[in-house]
Structure 1
Amino acid sequence: MVRPTKSVDLMSKHLTEDEYRIRKDAEEKLKGKKDKIKPLKYLNKNAKKIFKTIATELKDSDILCNLDIYILSSCAVALDRIQSAEELLEEDLLNKEARIVQDTYTRQFFRLCNELCLSPQSRSKLANAAYQSMQEENDPVLEALRGDD
């Protein structure tokens, strides 16, 4: 089975500078704009609040773009429905329908977490990539090779 392609910043495979630059440019072109990251109208009040919370928390990571609003909306709906199921289960732990809803949306939420880099492992990979990029910018040997002053 083929593994999903990773962002060039998250790859552990060594790329030449040209390969890296070409892939990075292609990713940036496909990423799109970031000016319309707002909850979709069909979301209920709680789902909109969840959407805004996640979007605010991910703003500094610079990973969201306008195309991500659909994934983020699905994530907000899943969390809202998990919360609703939890409330029903508080009243009746044997509520079979609430348990099914909870399980279904929890699985969906975990899949969406991978898409949005919400898991601790994903955040760690992003942080590591950012740290390595910062180290490369400050590396005197690389600066000398690039001819930076």
Structure 2
Amino acid sequence: MRALHLAAAVLALACLFAAAPAAADAGSLALQENESDSPDVNIYGPETAVYNYSEEFRVSVLGADVESVTWKFPDGSTATGTETTYRFMEEGDRTITVVVETTDGETLRESVTYDVFHADDDDGWNPVPALQFFGMVGFFLLVLLGLKMVALPMILREL
């Protein structure tokens, strides 16, 4: 019986670790260490961009203090701050540029280009939000299953 509980615990933990990156921001880029003395600008966003779907972006700057951040989007609109959202309204290659002003008066620029695709089917239904929802529901169901199979029996056994 103890071996069954141990197997269930291992399975639950494996499921949690497998699902955790999907529940977090699976499309974000990995943070790289700044190996030089010059400031390093990193843009974090989705791996792919979907037409008419709001995407989240953020920027981090290593090696410098930030005074201001300005985002420049393909349609000419702008945003300020280290985090923003943008809805791509055109398909094809689209570039987002972030301009960072440091407290030392230095201007840093970084750009990222996306191949924006149209995910709608003939009925006009966009599957991306539904897939995100079901991914989160699945993650929480795995957490509940792990609690029921591992934590609850351990607690009841101690009582």
Same fold (TM over 0.5): no
Structure with greater helix percent: 1
TM normalised by structure 1 equals 0.30
Structure with greater strand percent: 2
TM normalised by structure 2 equals 0.29
